[in-house]
Structure 1
Amino acid sequence: MIKGIIFDLDDTLISEKEYIKSGFKVVCNVISEQHNLNFDKVYQKIFELFDEDSDYVFNRLLDCFNIEYEKEYILELLKIYRGHSPDISLYSDAEEILNYLAGKNYKLGIITDGYKITQNKKLESLDIDNCFDCIIITDELGKDYWKPHKKPYGLCRENLGVDYSFLIYVGDNIKKDFITANKLGMHTVQIVREDGVYKDLDSIEESYKADHVISDLNELKDIYNL
């Protein structure tokens, strides 16, 4: 019998690409104002560069517009990106399943990786704290405790007061979301989003795979008779 569900955040409850778009918009606005450039051209260019390669995208963007810069300027842009208040929303099926579960007696949690300032800003924008009994931002424990470390899973289980065997863990990243949850005896579900950053990842070993693969969070209702 299922007593609790723990969700990943990025590309599970929200679109990571939607967050990236929001952050790029803020950064491009800063660059265009500081260097007297057309915002639309800068914003279009950053996505062209990002689609080619996500590494050093701010450096490459500045190079494209012949802007001289020091390392400190890149760090400033990164700080703006990570610390901005994002224009994001829940996936429609995430909103539906959370509204559905709100009428039940299930314990709900979130375990999310990512810089703590960034993840906190996302949660503030979403205003969903009251939907969950426990929210673990792994970076607040320390970088060594990001998934797949077992500590965040253990803390969440302890806060929810539910044994692992009665918990579902739902995430998207097959490289890190499920291997620990599987070892701990949790039920595991991979959600594959069309716009997901990790949707095309392949698992190396069976132990990394989830028990079920879905494309809509509402499928949880039928799989586990929620």
Structure 2
Amino acid sequence: MISELDYVKSGFRHISNILSLQLRQSREEIYNQLTEFFSEDTNMVFNRLFDKLSVSYTEDDILKLVDAYRSHMPEIKFYEDVLPVLDTLKQKNIKTGIITDGYAITQRNKLQVLQADEYFDHIIVTDELGRSYWKPNPLAFELMKEQLNVEFDEMMYVGDNPAKDFYIAARYPVKTVRIIRNSGVYTNTAYLHDVKEFYKVKSLYDIRV
């Protein structure tokens, strides 16, 4: 629905504002360094920033930044094809839902900014069920089936992460669609147990219902 890279950049802007006051460095310099580190390796970005700047830090310092990143109110928007396709589905009386992983506060902030409640019939944040119920656990799909009052073979799930989004098809007859966008971050991710999608598209406009 959104560019994950846009979310990352939004988070780094937020962290840059915080650190510019603490370190007396310009926001732009900190932001540019964070995005450069992230492009090289997504791990331990804040640690590497402090190391680069020769700033001493504790584990608690890093955890506070991670918490600020996850809980910030992001500057994001839907991909341009999302709302038109949702409108078409609504006109056809096709119900829609969201199943999303990730920390609850992070996902809820995204959903609030996007005003997703106005566009979808039901939303499930798997973290609110418990970390063990993140995808590929099937519980969220089972709950969505009941909430939308449909059968599994009437459901279609659109995702982008091969590590968890398409494995549901090994459990239930849910049609799965992998969307591959230019800004996607899971292009080279391996499939879980080699369970692949039924269809592959580059845009939501390519899906025919």
Q: Is TM (by shorter chain) over 0.5? A: yes
Query: Is the counterpart of residue 203 in structure 1 residue 191 in structure 2?
Result: yes
SS at match of 2:55: coil
- Counterpart check, 1:131 vs 2:119: yes
Residue 177 (structure 2) pairs with residue 152 (structure 1): no
Give, in whole Å, the separation in 2 of the partners of 1:40 and 1:197.
24
What TM-score does the superposition give when structure 2 sets the normalisation length? 0.96
- Cα deviation, residue 199, structure 1: 1.5
In 2, the alpha carbon distance for the partners of 1:115 and 1:203 equals 22
In the alignment, which of 188, 202, 207 is matched to residue 176 of structure 2?
188
**Could you say what secondary structure the match of 1:189 adopts?**
strand
Quote the offset at 1:32 in angstroms: 1.0
The answer to whether the 8 Å contact 2:98/2:124 transfers is yes
Of residues 181, 189, 214, the one that matches 2:201 is 214
CA RMSD for the aligned pairs? 1.2
User: Is 2:25 the counterpart of 1:21?
Assistant: no
Amino acid at match of 1:139: D
Spell out, residue by residue over 1:153-206, the C-alpha distance to the aligned partner (whole angstroms, 9 max, x if none). Answer: 101111010000111111001121111134200111100111111012243655
CA distance in structure 1 between the aligned counterparts of 2:48 and 2:42, rounded to whole angstroms: 10
Q: Is the 8 A contact 2:162 2:192 kept in 1?
A: no
Contact kept in structure 1, 2:89 and 2:95, CA below 8 Å? no
Q: Name the SS for the 1:199 alignment partner.
A: coil
For the 8 Å contact 2:71–2:106, the answer to whether it is kept is yes
- TM-score, length basis structure 1: 0.89
Q: Which residue of 2 aligns with 1:7?
A: none
1:36 aligns with 2:24: yes
- 2:157 and 2:206 mapped to 1: Cα distance? 14
Q: Report the CA distance shift for 1:204/1:130 in structure 2 as closer, same or farther (over 3 A).
A: closer
Which segment is superposed worse, 71-80 or 177-186?
177-186
Q: How does 1:1-226 map to 2 (within 5 A)?
A: 13-203=1-191, 205-206=193-194, 208-221=195-208, 226=209
**1:67-87 C-alpha deviation (Å, 9 max, x unpaired):** 111111111111110011000
- Provide the C-alpha distance between the structure 1 equivalents of 2:59 and 2:26, rounded to a whole number of angstroms: 24
The 8 Å contact of residues 169 and 181 in structure 1, kept in 2 or not, is answered as no
List alignment gaps of at least 5 residues for structure 2: none
Greater relative contact order (Cα < 8 A, sep 6+): 1
Gaps of 5+ in 1: 1-12
| Cα distance in 1 for residues equivalent to 2:113 and 2:192 | 36
CA deviation map 1:114-142 (0-9, x unaligned): 00000000000001212111101010001
SS in 2 for 1:111: strand
Encode CA deviations 1:39-59: one digit per residue, 9 max, x unaligned: 111111111111111111011
Identical counterparts, % of pairs: 42
Contact 1:182–1:188 (CA<8 Å) still a contact in 2?
no
